């Protein structure tokens, strides 16, 4: 399902992050399986390199300078979204930045800019994907 940019841009940051969380999970699982990793314990271990609030906060930092003004606005809206969730094992700062990252991925998906979302995913996690490819993770 896609939306025009105006409609997608009217969604709040938490709603965009809700979609972005699912899209990110699909990207992660697809990437891991594309590397030939089929052992469930191993791919669950590797998935944590992508989906924790800390990992997504680092992803946020890595891609922020590469964004258009419009993308940066969505990232910030997600980061500033009002949530009632309190992270248990993550800092509030990491959790908020992770929400911003997910909001951007969700917005790109909803506006049918999946190629851009995939590009940002690759750039955001280049260290992790290189570690997996080089078998150092």
Q: Which pLDDT score is estimated for 89? A: 81
Give 10-33 pLDDT, tens digit per residue. 999 999 999 999 999 999 999 999
Quick one: average pLDDT of 113-125?
97
Per-residue pLDDT for 67 more than 70? yes
- For 27, phi and psi rounded to 5 degrees? -60, -45
Give 88-107 pLDDT, tens digit per residue. 788 888 999 999 999 999 99
Q: Mind giving me the DSSP string for 80-116?
A: T-------SSS-HHHHHHHHHHHHHHHHHHHTT-HHH
Domain ranges (residues) in the chain: 5-133
Quick one: average pLDDT of 61-87?
90
- Residue among 21, 39, 69, 94 flagged as catalytic: 21
What is the value of pTM for the model shown? 0.92
Reply yes or no on whether 39 is catalytic: no
Least confident of 32-36, 80-84, 123-127: 80-84
> What would the CATH number be for the domain defined by 5-133?
1.10.1520.10
Per-residue pLDDT for 65 more than 70? yes
């Amino acid at each position: 399902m896609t939306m025009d940019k105006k409609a997608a841009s009217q969604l709040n940051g938490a709603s965009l992050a809700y979609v972005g969380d699912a899209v990110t999970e699909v990207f992660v699982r697809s990437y891991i399986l594309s590397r030939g990793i089929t052992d469930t314990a191993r791919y669950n271990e590797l998935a944590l390199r992508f989906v924790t609030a800390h990992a997504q906060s680092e992803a946020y930092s890595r891609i922020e300078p590469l964004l258009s003004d419009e993308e940066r606005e969505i990232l910030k809206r997600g980061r500033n979204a009002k949530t009632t969730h309190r992270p248990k094992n993550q800092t509030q700062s990491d959790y908020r930045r992770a929400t911003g990252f997910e909001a951007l991925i969700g917005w790109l998906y909803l506006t049918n800019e999946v190629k851009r979302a995939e590009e940002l995913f690759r750039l955001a996690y280049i260290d992790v994907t290189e570690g997996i490819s080089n078998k150092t993770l």
